Amino acid sequence: MAGPLTGIRVLEIPNIGPLQHAGMILSDLGAEVLRLDRKTHVDANTGLQGPYTARSILDRGRLSAGIDLKQPDAAGIVLALAEQADVMVEGFRPGVSERLGIGPDAALARNPRLVYGRMTGWGQEGPMAHEVGHDINYIALTGVLDMIGEAGGPPVPPLNLVGDFGGGSMLLVVGVLAALVERATSGLGQVVDAAMIDGATLLMAPFVAAATSGSWGPRGTNMLDGGAHFYGVYACSDGEYVSVAAIEPQFYAAFCERLGLDDVDGAQQYDRSQWAALKARVAKVFATRSRKEWIERFDGYEVCFAPVLTTSDALSHEHHAARHTFVTVDGVDQPGAAPRFSRTAAGVAHSAHRAGADTDEALASWGLTPDAIAAARANGVIA
């Protein structure tokens, strides 16, 4: 592998899934990422404990050293590693890394070129900064959750994609990459504060605009949230589902023709007063054929149509197979690296190593002497 981040060293302190996801992405892009896993996750006999397994996708591509950050001498080890790093990322609550002696001030004092990325749910400041929370809480407070769901029903959690991964890990990766680009000019690192509430709100930009302008109606009544008959999910006769997004007039015309809705006036596509009745009618039509039959009926027609696949179905779909969207690493099916690059291909370096499996090797490759490693182990700092 020679991804675009080859030569960049990243020190990752993985305590939450979105932080691990960010580390995974940076590794896929070619960075050398060292995971400093909790020593308590390293079992003396098997090296396996807690959430870490050899099949863990989020931990792929990196070496792992086990460390107890609460030990008095741990900060010295981490800061010594930070001196060798281009990037350091952590996901503690505000003030925790400072109390551990590995906060941004201490790290940047040792390495002024360091990009220090920190991820939280509520942000580093504000009246809720120190409160606990999870994805659903962050998207609830930002207005995201209120917009998702069927008309007349409760909000529906969209997995933990919007807050944790879209608003958290993806935002952190963008921030880290931007800071690395800026460093090429200034020669200095800086702190990247990635808050999930900020990232989720940023993802909502067009919908915030619609809501504040008065053009967004109640949940489930708008074009993109299932209110429109031409944009949504429908059940087929076999209990499977299909998705349609016939927004543009030419796609809508083909959509109506394939469904046999010859009497529907295309000029009234955006007449909201007609949507509920048409949605019920479209649902009845889709329920007359199986998903396979609808796939065949829409094949070759520009409608913006796709079957709703399970993950198992998606793994074997011909389009994904052609693009290698999913890859198999050590027998484990998983998403491949993205995006694609013309010269410096990204990819999965190797499957996940167990927590602490590479402690001595990794610390040595990052500049710690054998004596320093032995002393750290004797003091209970490393696994």
Q: Give the CATH number for residue 124.
A: 3.40.50.10540
Q: What's the mean pLDDT when you consider all of the chain?
A: 94
277 shares its domain with 371 = no
What is residue 53's predicted lDDT score, i.e. its pLDDT?
A: 56
Task: Identify residue 362 by its one-letter amino acid code.
Answer: A
Tell me the pTM.
0.94
Q: How confident is the model at residue 354 (pLDDT cuts 50, 70, 90)?
A: confident
Contacts of 361 (CB under 8 A, 6+ apart): 63
Strand-pair category, 87-90 with 305-307: unpaired
Q: How confident is the model at residue 225 (pLDDT cuts 50, 70, 90)?
A: very high
What is residue 55's predicted lDDT score, i.e. its pLDDT?
A: 58
What is residue 47's predicted lDDT score, i.e. its pLDDT?
A: 46
Total of domains in the chain: 2
What is residue 365's predicted lDDT score, i.e. its pLDDT?
A: 97
Positions marked active-site: 134, 164
168 shares its domain with 93 = yes
User: Mean pLDDT lowest for which of 43-52, 128-137, 202-211, 294-303?
Assistant: 43-52
Q: Is residue 2 part of a domain?
A: no
87 shares its domain with 230 = no
Q: Name the DSSP class of 345.
A: -
What is residue 169's predicted lDDT score, i.e. its pLDDT?
A: 98
What is residue 45's predicted lDDT score, i.e. its pLDDT?
A: 46
Strand-pair category, 305-307 with 332-335: unpaired
CA distances from 299 to 91, 162, 276, 319 (A): 46, 32, 27, 14
95 shares its domain with 48 = yes
DSSP strands (E only) in the chain: 9-13, 32-38, 63-67, 87-90, 115-120, 191-195, 231-235, 241-245, 305-307, 326-329, 332-335
Mean pLDDT across the stretch 323-342?
94
What is residue 49's predicted lDDT score, i.e. its pLDDT?
A: 45
What is residue 1's predicted lDDT score, i.e. its pLDDT?
A: 59
To the nearest 10 degrees (0 to 180), the angle between helices 196-203 and 205-212 is 70
Q: Is residue 312 part of a domain?
A: no
Radius of gyration of the chain (CA): 25
Answer whether residue 51 shows pLDDT above 90: no
295-329: string of b/e by CB count within 10 Å (b at 16+)? beebeeeebbbebebeeeeeeeeeebeeeeebeeb
172 shares its domain with 283 = no
Q: Which of 11, 72, 61 lies closest to 363 in space, CA to CA?
A: 11
Mean pLDDT across the stretch 34-38?
95
10 Å Cβ neighbour count for 205? Answer: 9
What is the rounded distance in angstroms from the CA atom of residue 65 to the CA atom of residue 42? 9
163 shares its domain with 56 = yes
Q: Tell me which long-range contacts 172-178 makes (C-beta under 8 A, separation of at least 24).
A: 172/18, 172/19, 172/22, 172/89, 172/117, 172/119, 173/22, 173/25, 173/26, 175/117, 176/22, 176/26, 176/87, 176/89, 176/115, 176/117
Q: Is 118 helix (H, G, I), strand (E, B) or coil?
A: strand
What is the rounded distance in angstroms from the CA atom of residue 2 to the CA atom of residue 6? 6
* φ/ψ of residue 362, rounded to 5: -65, -45
Structure tokens at 145: 């959750």
Q: Name the DSSP class of 382.
A: B
8 Å CB contact between 195 and 215:
no
Residue after which a domain boundary falls, among 251, 272, 307: 307
163 shares its domain with 32 = yes
**Cα 150–152–154 angle (5° rounding)?**
65
Q: Give the tens place of pLDDT for each residue, 234-279.
A: 999 999 999 999 999 999 999 999 999 999 999 999 999 999 999 9
What is residue 216's predicted lDDT score, i.e. its pLDDT?
A: 95
40 shares its domain with 158 = yes
Domain range for 28 is 9-203+326-378
167 shares its domain with 262 = no
What is residue 345's predicted lDDT score, i.e. its pLDDT?
A: 95
